[in-house]
Amino acid sequence: MKKAVGFSLFLLLLSTVFLLVLASGNTDPFLHFLNVTPIESLLSATDQAKLLETYADEFAFLNQKHGNTIRSIDESAIKLIQAEASAVAIEGNGLAFAALLEEIGALRFARAVTMFNSNGAPVGGGASPLRVRPDQFEVRNAVRTTVVPYGALKAQHDIDVTVGVTYPQSVDADIEVEAGEILKGYKITASVSASVSSSISGPADFTEVKSGVYATHRAGYGVLFGRIERYTYDLYYAYTGELHSHNEIISIRDQNAEYYTFLVSYGVPTYLKHARYSTCYTFSSKQACITSVSQHPETYIN
């Protein structure tokens, strides 16, 4: 009896989500459905078990690091995976967190298409909830492609701290990508943002950026990590079979922010030392340095 009641509530929740999508006035109800439906509602028990088995090493690492046991993949587990994917993208440790996110992303899209076309019925089976506007839209010809693999996408210059200065509290960096912004050669459809906090202090006296050149500041940047995906699909009126719209979406997925600092010597020219290595880069000005790091953070942190 309790299982029946629980399943009924689950169907009611999914039905409510679907109705909100239809009532929202969004011209692309499928995209909204994809964005608001939690991953645990999309993945079947078989999907969950396969992911946990295939990426057993990755989940064992997370369980050991965070002192808990991940028995299923939900949005909180994905946050942990995203954080590790960002670290591995730079430092590498042999664990396939980016591949795990990629597989979850592919399943999320495919299962969302199936559930949307059944008007919110759970992927694992069961009866479809009642439809207030039955079969109004149907997704057809859906294709998902990763166009930029997981990695550092963009940086935001946060603060410059002079020699010998230590900030008594952490600093916050907000990184935003606006709708219509060109990122890695792709025009992003919807805006995204991420935030990160960190402590930072200025360099010690006579700290070298390169031989004979002393640092004037330590520069802090928030770096946005993620993956860029392209979705193409058609929305049809299921009653008539008429095409409603053809859609192409360029979306940033699994975004996560990390904080990086660089030793810099501002002037003409300006010098910046790699975040992890001794490599030093030369720029015509401070602004040229900031622009380059912001647009190509992977060059200076990988």
pLDDT digits (tens, 9 = 90+) for 116-145: 998 754 554 444 444 435 458 999 999 999
Distance, in Å, from the CA atom of 244 to the CA atom of 238, rounded to the nearest integer, reads: 10
The answer to the question of residue 17 being in a domain is yes
Domain hosting residue 208, numbered range: 146-301
Question: Could you give the count of Cα atoms lying within 13 Å of 202 in the half-sphere of its Cβ?
Answer: 16
From 101, 141, 99, 96, select the one nearest 117 (Cα to Cα): 141
* Domain match, 153 and 289 both: yes
* Domain match, 28 and 106 both: yes
* Domain match, 121 and 9 both: yes
The answer to the question of residue 134 being in a domain is no
Torsion (CA) 110, 116, 120, 121 in degrees, nearest 10: -50
Q: What's the pLDDT score for residue 135?
A: 53
Give me the sign of the Cα torsion angle 245, 249, 254, 255. Answer: negative
Query: Could you tell me if 95 and 58 are in contact, meaning their C-beta atoms sit under 8 angstroms apart?
Result: yes
Query: Which parts of the chain register pLDDT below 70?
Result: 1-27, 120-135
* Domain match, 218 and 285 both: yes
The answer to the question of residue 258 being in a domain is yes
* Domain match, 177 and 59 both: no
Last residue of a domain, one of 126, 160, 180: 126
pTM: 0.84
* Domain match, 61 and 170 both: no
Q: What's the pLDDT score for residue 148?
A: 97
**Could you give the number of structural domains in the chain?**
2
Q: What's the pLDDT score for residue 91?
A: 75
* Domain match, 37 and 108 both: yes
Distance, in Å, from the CA atom of 233 to the CA atom of 246, rounded to the nearest integer, reads: 6
Phi, psi of 131, deg, nearest 5: -105, 120
The answer to the question of residue 50 being in a domain is yes
* Domain match, 229 and 172 both: yes
* Domain match, 46 and 108 both: yes
* Domain match, 199 and 246 both: yes
* Domain match, 95 and 212 both: no
Q: What's the pLDDT score for residue 175?
A: 96
Last residue of a domain, one of 74, 91, 126: 126
